[in-house]
Each structure stands twice: as structure tokens, then as C-alpha cells.
């Protein structure tokens, strides 16, 4: 199966490495910096930190180019097809889920990527956030309609 071959796994490792480096270099690993970006109330006093807008912009541009390159190909290099997200519907789970995530993100300043990358530094209480996040993700899989749940194939 394609997903167990060396080039496929090496690609996953390279991508994860670039992602981790990007989170550190951009300082998305700092929950307090993320919160200072989300703190629009500090704009009048000059205490707002707009840095994170400069993270997502270039990230989207680079990925946009990759998506355009991908459209010229039938398949990615190491698998038989592109795994496009199946749903294109704007429905209640999408909006309710995004809203719940928004509350969590605003409370702690930690989205899933930085949550994982912070394992490198083990700040106090991180394990509480991680265990809760994994538990929430697992619980959420039972809220989803069964058609969106996946079978175990390694």
C-alpha cells in the first residue's frame, strides 16, 4: 500500500519538519503572542501585535501555487490520487465546530499545530490541554454523521 512506502513516509517527515520549523520561526508556538494578535481591543492603545497576519498570508500563497501545480497532474508523486476533502457543504457542523474551536483558541491561544509543537518545550500544564484536545477530538468523531467516519486500514 502506497502509504507505507519509503518515499511516502519521507515526504510526511519532510512536511512535518518544515511545519515544525515554520511554527517556531513564526513564533506561533507562543500562545501569548497568538493572543496578542487576537486582542483587537488593544488596537487603539497600540498594544496590538499584527505579526500573525504575516504568517498566514505567505503560507496561503505558497500552498496556492502548489494547488495550481497539482491541477496539471492526475495524481501526486507518491499516491494514486489527491485526497480532496469530500464535503463542500456549508452546514451546521461546520459553523458550530468552527465556533467551538474559536472559543477554545481565544481562551488559550493554542491551535492544534502549536499544541503539538509545544511538546518540544513542555511548558507547565501543556499535558492538560493536550489530553483534553485529544479527548475532544475523539468525542467529536461520534457527533459526526457515520458517513464521515473512516475505517481502520493502517
Partner 1 sequence: MESFTPLSAALGGSLIGLAAAVLWLGNGRIAGISGIFGQLLPPAQTVVWRLVFLVALVATTFAAAKLFPGLGVGGDVAARLVKAPAALGLPTPVWLAIAGLLTGIGTKVGNGCTSGHGVCGLARLSLRSLVAVVVFFGVAIITVAVTGVV
**Considering the rule CB under 8 A, would residue 6 count as an interface residue with partner 1?**
no
User: Which 70-129 residues touch partner 1, going by CB under 8 A?
Assistant: 70, 73, 75-79, 81-83, 85, 87-90, 93-113, 115-126, 128-129
For residues 130 and 119, give the distance between their C-alpha atoms in angstroms, rounded to a whole number.
9
Minimum gap (Å) between residue 48 Cβ and partner 1: 8
**Considering the rule CB under 8 A, would residue 147 count as an interface residue with partner 1?**
no
User: Which 18-37 residues touch partner 1, going by CB under 8 A?
Assistant: 18-33, 35-36
Minimum gap (Å) between residue 145 Cβ and partner 1: 10
Minimum gap (Å) between residue 32 Cβ and partner 1: 7
Binding track, positions 45-74, relative to partner 1; x by CB under 8 A = -xx-xxxxxxxxxxxxxxxxxxx-xx--x-
**Considering the rule CB under 8 A, would residue 43 count as an interface residue with partner 1?**
no
Q: What are phi and psi of 44, to 5 degrees?
A: -60, -35
For residues 32 and 16, give the distance between their C-alpha atoms in angstroms, rounded to a whole number.
23
Interior CA angle at 136 toward 60 and 50, to 5°?
A: 35
Minimum gap (Å) between residue 5 Cβ and partner 1: 10
Residue matched to cell numbers 513564533: 27
Amino acid at each position: 500500500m502506497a502509504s507505507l512506502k519509503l518515499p511516502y513516509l519521507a515526504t510526511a517527515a519532510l512536511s512535518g519538519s518544515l511545519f515544525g520549523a515554520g511554527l517556531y520561526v513564526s513564533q506561533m508556538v507562543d500562545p501569548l503572542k497568538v493572543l496578542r494578535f487576537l486582542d483587537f481591543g488593544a488596537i487603539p492603545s497600540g498594544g496590538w501585535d499584527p505579526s500573525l497576519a504575516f504568517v498566514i498570508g505567505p503560507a496561503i500563497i505558497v500552498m496556492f501555487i502548489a494547488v495550481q501545480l497539482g491541477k496539471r497532474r492526475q495524481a501526486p508523486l507518491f499516491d494514486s490520487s489527491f485526497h480532496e476533502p469530500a464535503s463542500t457543504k456549508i452546514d451546521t457542523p461546520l459553523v458550530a465546530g468552527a465556533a467551538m474551536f474559536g472559543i477554545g483558541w481565544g481562551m488559550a491561544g493554542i491551535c492544534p499545530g502549536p499544541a503539538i509543537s509545544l511538546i518540544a518545550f513542555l511548558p507547565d500544564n501543556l499535558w492538560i490541554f493536550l489530553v483534553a484536545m485529544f479527548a475532544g477530538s475523539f468525542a467529536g468523531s461520534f457527533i459526526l454523521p457515520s458517513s464521515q467516519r473512516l475505517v481502520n486500514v493502517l
